[in-house]
Amino acid sequence: MPGGSNSAVAEYAVGCAIVLLRRLAWADMEIRDANYVSFRGRMVGDNLLGLEGLTVGVVGLGTIGFAVADAFRRFGCEIVYHDPTPRDEAAAKLGAKALPLEELLKTADIVTLHVPLLPQTRSMIGARQLSLMKPGAVLIQASRGGIVNETALAAHLNTGRLGGAAVDVYSTEPPDTDNPLFALEGEAAHRVLFTPHVAGVTRQASATLFREAWTNVERVLLKNEPAQNRAY
């Protein structure tokens, strides 16, 4: 059932970008540790970014990538994208500009990944690619585990150069306890947001998927019509 989780993934990407850029989860922990005054002063002094006017780089402008890009666009973001498949029609609707991957990484304030795991996409975001990202940029990994080299991501978070990363998918799931991202400490640990492969999971998304699946059953069994969205 293609497209059923588009809105859910778009909400996830936008929500995580806001939480990371504005350090909302980090602030929660500091307040619990009685650091209200000092951390508020730091947040104000660091002049944290909101979304409006930022450049969002979407890697993979398919069905889900388009929904994510459109959600960011509605917050006033500029959209650039990288996709080996021509996406001219979708890009025109968004006012999005196509860029080579390396140029996208150098340009975007937020990089959000929405590509399948294929031989050519495995570890497509590694140490070299991460080093190209802008200081303070945020990475949203809600595609498939294996797209991002987790060791390289942990190393770049440790340097403090990246603004943060949201990680919803892992190279193995459940992730191994020795995953290098789980070993981050101090400020680096506050710059990463972990979720358990739920970017596309909401009550509304599930309702859409079940409803459309049942409609497909009715097409075949009651109306003698061919199935839609066949996977074989």
Q: Could you report the average pLDDT of every consecutive run of 10 residues in the chain (232 residues)?
A: 82 98 97 97 96 97 95 97 92 95 98 94 95 97 96 96 96 94 96 96 85 85 84 66
- Residue 216 and residue 161 share a domain: no
153 occurs within a structural domain: yes
Q: For residue 140, what is the domain's CATH number?
A: 3.40.50.720
| pLDDT for position 77 | 98
40 occurs within a structural domain: no
- Residue 157 and residue 190 share a domain: yes
Residue 232 lies in domain = 202-232
Question: Which residues, in sequence order, are CB contacts of 90 under 8 Å at separation 6+?
Answer: 61, 66, 96
The domain tally of the chain equals 2
43 occurs within a structural domain: no
CA distance 227 to 143: 27
- Residue 123 and residue 73 share a domain: yes
CB of 193 within 8 A of CB of 25? yes
Residue type, 81: Y
- Dihedral (CA of 61, 62, 65, 71) sign: positive
- Residue 173 and residue 77 share a domain: yes
41 occurs within a structural domain: no
| pLDDT for position 3 | 67
Residues involved in catalysis: 144, 173, 197
Beta bridge pairs of residue 178: none
Phi, psi angle pair for 213, to nearest 5°: -65, -40
Tell me the whole-structure pTM to 2 decimals. 0.91
| pLDDT for position 210 | 84
94 occurs within a structural domain: yes
- Residue 194 and residue 115 share a domain: yes
- Residue 220 and residue 113 share a domain: no
- Residue 94 and residue 72 share a domain: yes
